[in-house]
Amino acid sequence: MSTENHHLPQRIKLIWRISALGSLVVFGAVTGLIWLAYSYWDWPFWLVVVFGALTIIEFIVEVALVPYRYRFTRYQISETAVEMQSGMIFKKRVAIPIARVQNVTLNAGPLLQGQKLTKVSVATASTNHGIEGLELNEAEALRDQIMQLAREARHDQA
Amino acid sequence: MTKPKRTHPLGLFLHMAHAIKDYWYLLILLISLYNQPVWFILGWVLVIGAILVWPIVRWVTLSYRVTPEAVEINSGVLVRHHEHIPYARIQTVQRKQWFFLAPFKLEEVTIETASHDDNKPEARLAAVPTSLAGEIDRYRQGAPAPTEVAPAVGEETTNTFATEEPASTGQATAHYRINNRTLFKFAVTSTGFIPLLLILLALYNKIPRSWTDTLINDATHLALIILVIGALVVVLIAWVGAFLWTYLRYYHFDVTLQGDQLKTAKGFFQRNTITAPLRRIQAIRIKQNIFRQWLHIQTVQVLLASKAASDDDDDDLVILPAVPQAQLYDVAPNFLGWLPNHMPDLGALNVADRHKWYLVRNALLVAIIPVAIATWLWPHWWWLFALVLILAYFQGLFAARQTGGQLLTPTMLALQTGHVWTKETYYVPADMIQSMRLERSVWMRRKQLMHLVVNVRHGNKNQSIELRYLQAKQAQRIYDWYVRTV
């Protein structure tokens, strides 16, 4: 059984950093709205302070964790199963037998598209499991491989 | 039958009853609005629309037709739906007959397929002749000759169980009827009284203050006794209510195995018959709440890949509502071949004694924040909240004790959990496990612990069976088995 432990492509770190920036903008906008509420409707000032602080802390933590997130996210494909691993403090490892795979979906937002990356989600009859980002050609190969193996597995069962 | 037919006019009443059941809160809202005329009138318009006009329109527009190829349903008011259900696609057929429909030989038929769409059944025909379900059944089994499939009626006072020769495809191969004593025990130990209790308490708060005040003023010296008696009466009412509810719903519970179809029938006022194919079963669950543990009775359910038995406990099809614990592994395997014929040893997965504390701690952590807030808001109820903490403590201990599991055969996994004072034993074949997950935190790594999560399809959703704080080696062994077997 050939089982290789793969990391995600390096560029996913950039995507994560940009998405951290995105959440900074969203939280910043919320803080801005609260500030408006403070100046027009006399909402308490501490709300603005708390939200502002949360926004900045969230951003710093998210950016700081990127290398760790990268190190602890892995996937692995064998003849029979796809396995995914993630999380550093709460480590999770999930096994999806290829025979149970119903479909594999690739989707990429503008950010991922720009980097020629794509998300892969593997669906079974009841659950959904995702790999956060893969090279486009790698993802397509993966999808074809899984679907090929899935067809064979079904064939064996019948 | 060539022309689409409408359902019987009596179906209209059923539609209305459904509407009342769905929108009863509108009525309550209406009563509370009596002093605001504008809203009051608007409320009436809404209520009449919801429970009178809408059902009539729905009834008028609904028609059905049974052809040798498929069941066809036409429905919809503004957007016309034309549903075409080939027999091969049908998963479960459910028949519900209210007692007042019996003289008219009518019943409600619900047909369900495995489509992922939504949680609504494909077709619900409110009042159709009882012959219809039989006709559909015949077409489903591909047998055009009308064979009578009346279930063999057992004696009512004993647990009758018969294994007959499968004479023809329509013949029952196994049959079981609950006896009255077991049903009584089952109903007495229903936990349905807890939600009822909460409703009664809510109603108690709605009693005008002036009444209770005068009562208390009249009998200040008896206040405590009245309070205690009042509480007992409320509990009693809730409990009797839950008892009747369960007893009447599971009255004369009957289960029959016909070829590869499991058929259950139950109910006093409403006879509810469900037919489901064995091959759609995803897992078997044996359930026992703590009261039933004391009385030694257990419930057997199956998790199906369709949303058939949504009126049953937890949306699962109940195969045997109550079986004496000692008989379970004699009776149940006749219907469900997966089950072993004796109580298996579930020691291969467990929470070690020194690790039980983690489950207790987590239960306490969940309880402590609401308790702290509640105590802060209503300090004089502190004893009640302390009780909650004690309950949480024992729940944690209960969960730890019940956790178990074993590989029964190379392809069959048994898992046991203790969730909300209920022991649940699952039997899941490797083929039905959709995915499996191991979880561990940094701290658990040092202690050599792991959580094991097994995902099974349940209705159109996922059911995860979670065994927490197992020893890492045991959990890893099951995980490795899974990856290897599939």
At residue A45, the pLDDT reads: 87
Q: Is the residue at B57 inside a domain? A: yes
Task: Answer yes or no: is B359 within a domain.
Answer: yes
Of B434, B484, B486, the CB nearest to A126: B434
Here the tokens at position A58 are 């969230």
A81: pLDDT strictly greater than 50: yes
Between B433, B441, B462, which is nearest A90 by CB? B441
The reply to whether B171 falls in a domain is no
pLDDT band of B281, cuts 50, 70, 90: confident
Is the residue at B295 inside a domain? no
Tokens 């952590």 sit on residue: B365
CA separation for the pair A63, B310 (Å, rounded): 46
Question: Which residues does B418 contact at the CB level (< 8 Å), separation at least 6?
Answer: B398, B399, B400, B401, B402, B403, B424
Q: Which residues of chain B does A89 touch, with a Cβ-Cβ cutoff of 8 Å?
A: 441-442
The Cα–Cα gap between B193 and B105 comes to 34
Residue in A with minimal Cα distance to B439? A92
Tokens of A68: 């760790």
Q: Test A90 with B440 for CB contact under 8 angstroms.
A: yes
CA A27 to centroid of chain Cα atoms: 20
Which chain A residues contact residue B463 at CB under 8 A? 126
Please, are residues A47 and A33 in contact by the beta-carbon 8 Å criterion?
A: no
Interface test with A, best of B428, B433, B434, B484 (most A CBs within 10 A): B434
Reply yes or no on whether the pLDDT at B398 is more than 90: yes
In a 13 Å sphere around the CA of B306, the CA atoms on its Cβ side amount to: 23
Q: Is the pLDDT of residue B184 over 80?
A: yes
User: pLDDT, tens digit, for every residue of A6-23?
Assistant: 888 888 999 999 989 999
Distance from CA of A72 to the nearest CA of B (A): 13
**Mean local confidence (pLDDT), B459-482:** 90
- Domain end: B108, B130, B146, which one? B146
Per-residue pLDDT at B25: 79
Which pLDDT does position B278 carry in this prediction?
85
Q: Give the tens place of pLDDT for each residue, B439-467.
A: 999 899 888 999 999 999 887 788 899 99
* Chain B positions in Cβ-Cβ contact with residue A125 (cut-off 8 Å): 305, 434, 457
Token pair listed for B318 = 């109940």
Label residue A156 by pLDDT band (50, 70, 90).
Answer: low
CB B349 within 8 A of CB B479: no
Min mean pLDDT across A115-129, A139-153, B93-107 is at A139-153
Closest CA to B389 of B401, B375, B379, B403: B375
Task: State residue B284's pLDDT score.
Answer: 92
| Residue B223: predicted pLDDT | 67
What pLDDT score does B115 carry?
Answer: 62
Kindly identify which residue of chain A lies nearest to residue B461, measuring between CA atoms: A126
CATH number of the domain bearing residue B126: 2.30.29
- Residue B305 near residue A100 (C-beta atoms within 8 A): no
Round to whole Å and give the CA distance between B428 and B406.
11
d(CA B428, CA B412): 6
Query: Does pLDDT of B110 surpass 80?
Result: yes
- Which of the listed residues B400, B429, B460 is the one where a domain comes to its end? B400
End-to-end CA distance of chain A: 23
CB spacing of A126 vs B455 below 8 angstroms: yes
Per-residue model confidence (pLDDT) at position B155: 34
Q: Identify the residue with better confidence: B426 or B154.
A: B426
Q: Are A150 and A124 in contact (CB under 8 A)?
A: no
CA distance B112 to B340: 30
Does some domain include residue B173? no
Asked if B263 contacts B275 with a C-beta cutoff of 8 angstroms, the reply is yes
Q: Which of B97, B118, B146 is the last residue of a domain?
A: B146
Q: Is the pLDDT of residue B163 over 60?
A: no
pLDDT bin (cut points 50, 70, 90) of residue B414 is very high
Domain range for B386 is 353-400
- The rounded distance, in Å, linking the Cα atoms of B363 and B386 is 14
Of the partner residues A78, A91, A126, the one whose CB lies closest to the CB of residue B462? A126
Note the pLDDT tens digit of each residue in B327-340.
Answer: 889 888 988 888 99
pLDDT at B167 > cutoff 60 = no
pLDDT 10s digits, B327-384: 889 888 988 888 998 888 998 898 988 899 999 999 999 999 988 998 888 887 788 8
pLDDT tens-place string over residues B193-213: 887 778 777 776 666 666 666
pLDDT at B2: 63
The pLDDT value given to residue B207: 65
Higher pLDDT, B9 or B152: B9
Domain count, chain B: 2
Q: Which of A127, A128, A129, A152 to mutate to test the interface with B (most CBs of B within 10 A)?
A: A127
Residue B114's pLDDT is what? Answer: 64
Q: Do A92 and B439 touch (CB under 8 A)?
A: yes
In a domain, B69, yes or no: yes
How many Å lie between the alpha carbon of B462 and the closest alpha carbon of chain A?
5
Question: Other C-beta atoms within 10 Å of B486: how many?
Answer: 20
Residue B263 inside a domain? The answer is: no
CA distance A153 to chain B (A): 9
By C-alpha distance, the chain B residue nearest A129 is: B435
Facing B439 at nearest CB: one of A90, A98, A124: A90
Q: What ipTM was estimated for this complex?
A: 0.84
Q: For A73-87, A124-138, B18-32, B151-165, which range has the lowest pLDDT when averaged over its residues?
A: B151-165
Contact B435 A127 (CB under 8 A): yes
Q: Please give the residue that has the higher pLDDT: either B137 or B165.
A: B137
Q: A interface toward B at CB cutoff 8 Å?
A: 78, 80-81, 83, 88-100, 124-127, 129
Task: Supply B159's token pair.
Answer: 């647990």
Average the pLDDT over B392-397 and give the result: 93
* Contact residues on chain B for A124, CB-CB shorter than 8 A: 434-435, 455
- How confident is the model over B38-79, as pLDDT tens digits? 888 888 888 888 888 888 888 888 888 888 888 888 887 778
B249: in domain: no
Q: CB B442 to CB A126 under 8 A?
A: no
Residue B266 contacts by C-beta under 8 Å, 6 or more apart in sequence? B249, B250, B251, B252, B253, B254, B272, B321
Considering only CB atoms, which residues of chain B are within 8 Å of chain A?
A: 305, 433-442, 445, 455-458, 461-463, 479, 482-484, 486
Instruction: Spell out the SS3 assignment of chain B.
Output: CCCCEECCCHHHHHHHHHHHHHHHHHHHHHHHCCCCHHHHHHHHHHHHHHHHHHHHHHHHHCEEEECCCEEEEEECCCCCEEEEEEHHHEEEEEEEEECCCHHHCEEEEEEEECCCCCCCCCEEEEEEECHHHHHHHHHHCCCCCCCCCCCCCCCCCCCCEEECCCCCCCCEEEEEECCHHHHHHHHHCCCCHHHHHHHHHHHHHHCCHHHHHHHHHHCHHHHHHHHHHHHHHHHHHHHHHHHHHHHHHCCCCEEEEECCEEEEEECCCEEEEEEEEHHHEEEEEEEEEHHHHHHCEEEEEEEECCCCCCCCHHHCEEEEEEEECCCHHHHHHHCCCCCCCCCCCCECECCCHHHHHHHHHHHHHHHHHHHHHHHHHCHHHHHHHHHHHHHHHHHHHHHHHHCEEEEEECCEEEEEEEECCEEEEEEEEHHHEEEEEEEEEHHHHHHCEEEEEEEEEECCEEEEEEEEEEEHHHHHHHHHHHHHHC
